Amino acid sequence: MGREFDTVSRREFLHASGAVLALFTGLERLLPAYARPGLGTAAPATRPVGGTGSREFDLRIGRTRITIGEREAWAQLINGTLPGPLLRFREGETVTLRVSNALDEDTSIHWHGLIVPNGMDGVPKVTFDGIRPGETFTYRFPVRQSGTYWYHSHSGLQEQMGVYGPIIIDPIEPDPFEYEREYVVVLSDWTFEDPHDVLAKLKKMGGYYNFQRRTVAELIRDAKKQGLWSALGNRLSWGRMRMDPTDLSDVTGYTYTYLMNGMPPGANWTALFRPGERVRLRFINAAASSFFDVRIPDLPMTVVQADGQNVHPVTVDEFRIAIAETYDVIVQPLEDRAYTIFAESMDRSGYARGTLAPRPGMSAEIPKRRPRPVRTMADMGMDMSGMEMSEMQMEGMHAHAGHAMPASSAVPHGPDRHGPGNSAVRQVTRPRLDDPGVGLGEDGRRVLVYRDLRAVVPSPDQREPIREIELHLTGNMERYMWSFDGKKFSEAPEPIPVGLGERVRITFVNDTMMEHPIHLHGMWMELDNGAGDQRPRKHTVNVKPAERLSVLVTPDVPGKWALHCHILYHMEAGMFRVVEVAGGLAEEDR
C-alpha cells in the first residue's frame, strides 16, 4: 500500500497543484490545508502493531469575516478556517486538545463518534459546564478506535455558523483495502441569515423555506395519469391534513449555499489524481440540516467504511449520507479526464460540487438536478392495502409526509398516547433497511442501503439483549416541536437508565413525516440489519418516516450521555434525551 510517484512525475504534479492554488488567492487563507485544491494526502505507510504516544493540539474558536461566493458574512470558526483544521490521531495514543474561547458566549467541542471518558465528551450541562468566554478547556483522552470522524460545537446553533471540522484516526494495523491517495470531503450547508432567525421563522411556519410546492400544472399532469377525481382527491386529502408532499427538508436551498470543503459549487474544489490510482474519499456530512445524495457520474464508488468502521466492500453508483454520518469510498479513475463529485440535496433545492481531475483547472459536466421527490399517501405509514383512509385518520396526520415500505412488512400501531408533542398517528410502521430513501432507486443506479453494511470485525459482544427500550420520534410541525415520546427535552422525565455492560436493544419508531439522524454519545450502536454477528457499528442511524429501526448497545463507559436528532434545529427544538449509564468502572477505566 502506498505506491510512490517517480521523481519527475511527482515534481510536475506538485507544480500543477501550486498552480491551482493560485486560482484561489484570497480564499486560500480561509481554507484549512486539507481542503485546498491540490494533491491531497498520500496513503499512510503500513504502521507496526503496538506502540503508544501522545499528541497535542491548540484550537481557538472565534468570529471571523469570510467570503462565500460573492457575499461576505461573519462566521464562528476554529483557527480561522471553514471547515476547521483536520485533526489526525493514531489509534492507541493519547491526545491533548486545548480549546480556547474567543467568542462572547459559551462554546464547546464534541468529538463526534469517538468513545471518550464522560467528562471529555463536550456536551454542556450533560458532561461538563461548557467553555466560558476567554477561558480554555483542556480535553485529554486515549484514542480507542480508527477511521473517519468529525468534531463540532454542541452549544446552541454554533455548528451552523462554522464550528466543525474533520478527524482522521490512523489504525495501528493497516486497513483491509489499498489506495494510493486520499482526500477528506466535508459537506455542509451555510446560511447568510442568523441561524436564530431561521429557527424563529420555522417556529412561526414550519414550511417557511419550502418553495417547491405542487402547482396547478402538476395537478393537470397527475389528472392525465391518474384520472381527475383520483388526482383531485389526493390533493384534497393532503390539504385536509395541512401537509405538503414536497416538504422534505425544513431548511432548503432558498437560504442555503451548499459547501464542499468550505467552497460553494462555483468555486469548484478540485482533487487531483493520476489515472489508475486508487483514491480514498472520506465523506463527512457536517451539515446542520441537509441530507446529500452523492454520486460521481461514470465512476463507481466502493464503500469501505461507514461511521469510521470498516465494512465489507460494496460497490454503488450513489449513496445518501445523513447528517453526521461518514462514508469512506474508494474510486479508481482510469481515464485522463475530469469527474464531477456531485452532492445533491435530498429535496433537490441545491447541491455541493467538486471535481476529481488529472490536472488543475479542469471540470466535468455538472449533472442536471433531478425533479424533487414527491411523497405519496402510502408513504405516510398508512396501510393502503385495499382500504380507504377515514376522515379521522386523515385529520390525525398533521406533520410532514414520510416514506414507507410495502404493507406486508408493517407493524400495526395502536392509539397514539404521546400527547400534543406528537401530531402524527401511524397505522403501521415498517423496517426499511432495503429502502434507499425517497427520490432514490428508481433510475437504474445502484444505491447503498443499510442492508448492504456488514462489519469486517464482528462485535466483541454477541450476547442477546436482555431488555428492549422503545423510543418514538415525535413532532408537531405546526408548533415546530420535536421530541422523543411526545415530550421535548425541557419536559422529559429522568434520564433513560442503562446498566454498565448491559446488553440492550433500542428500537426507534418514527412517528413523524421526516427522516431523523439519531446520534447516541458514548457507545456504539450496532445496526440490527440482518447481518448477524457482522452487524455494522454506527454512531448515527438515519430513521426514515414510518420506520421501526433497532440497534444493540453495550455501554462500557459510565456517565450521562446525550441522545438526539442531529438535525440541528430539531435538537434545539427539543428532540434530545439523556441516557445514564450506571455501575462500577469498566475495566479500561479502572
Q: What is the reported pLDDT for 238?
A: 42
Residue 475 or 2, more confident: 475
Q: Residue 38 — pLDDT band, cuts 50, 70, 90?
A: low
Q: What is the reported pLDDT for 37?
A: 62
Q: What is the mean pLDDT of residues 281-290?
A: 98
Q: Report how far Cα 253 is from the mean position of its chain's Cα atoms.
A: 17
Residue 204 or 109, more confident: 109
Residue 424 contacts residue 475 (beta carbons within 8 Å): yes
Q: Which three cell numbers stand for residue 330?
A: 474508494
Q: Residue 127 — pLDDT band, cuts 50, 70, 90?
A: very high
Q: Across the strands, what pairs with 564?
A: 519, 576
Q: Is residue 391 predicted with pLDDT exceeding 60?
A: no
Mean pLDDT lowest among 296-305, 389-398, 498-507: 389-398
Q: What is the mean pLDDT of residues 497-505?
A: 97
Instruction: Report pLDDT digits (tens) over 534-556.
Output: 999 999 999 999 999 999 999 99
Percentage, residues of the chain above pLDDT 70: 75
Q: Between β-strands 292-295 and 318-321, what pairing exists: parallel, antiparallel or unpaired? A: antiparallel
Torsion angle (degrees, nearest 10) of CA 122, 124, 129, 130:
70
Contacts of 325 (CB under 8 A, 6+ apart): 285, 306, 307, 517, 538, 540, 542
Q: Which three cell numbers stand for residue 101?
A: 474561547
Q: Residue 375 — pLDDT band, cuts 50, 70, 90?
A: low
Q: What is the reported pLDDT for 188?
A: 98
Helix boundaries (H) for 23-117: none
Q: What is the mean pLDDT of residues 153-162?
A: 98
DSSP conformation class of 341: E
Q: Is residue 333 predicted with pLDDT exceeding 60?
A: yes
Mean pLDDT lowest among 96-100, 128-132, 337-341, 368-372: 368-372
DSSP string across 61-81: EEEEEEEETTEEEEEEEETTB
Residue 10 or 559, more confident: 559
Q: What is the reported pLDDT for 404?
A: 30
Q: What is the reported pLDDT for 167?
A: 98
Q: What is the reported pLDDT for 401?
A: 31
pTM: 0.86
What does the alpha-carbon distance between residue 437 and residue 546 come to, in Å, rounded to a whole number? 12
Residue 96 contacts residue 55 (beta carbons within 8 Å): yes
Residue 256 or 3, more confident: 256
Q: Residue 98 — pLDDT band, cuts 50, 70, 90?
A: very high
Query: Nearest to residue 349, comparing CAs of 229, 209, 445, 467?
Result: 209
What does the alpha-carbon distance between residue 31 and residue 37 come to, in Å, rounded to a whole number? 10
Q: Is residue 409 predicted with pLDDT exceeding 60?
A: no
Q: Is residue 22 predicted with pLDDT exceeding 90?
A: no
Distance, first Cα to last Cα, the chain: 38
Q: Is residue 372 predicted with pLDDT exceeding 90?
A: no
Q: Is residue 163 predicted with pLDDT exceeding 70?
A: yes
Beta strand residue intervals within 397-545, DSSP E:
411-412, 428-429, 467-476, 481-484, 496-499, 504-510, 516-520, 525-527, 537-538, 540-543
DSSP conformation class of 262: T
For the chain, the average pLDDT equals 84
Q: Is residue 46 predicted with pLDDT exceeding 50?
A: no
Q: What is the enclosing helix (H) or strand (E) of 218?
A: helix 216-226
Q: Is residue 445 predicted with pLDDT exceeding 80?
A: yes
Q: Residue 51 — pLDDT band, cuts 50, 70, 90?
A: very low
Q: What is the reported pLDDT for 44?
A: 58
What does the alpha-carbon distance between residue 569 and residue 165 come to, in Å, rounded to a whole number? 19
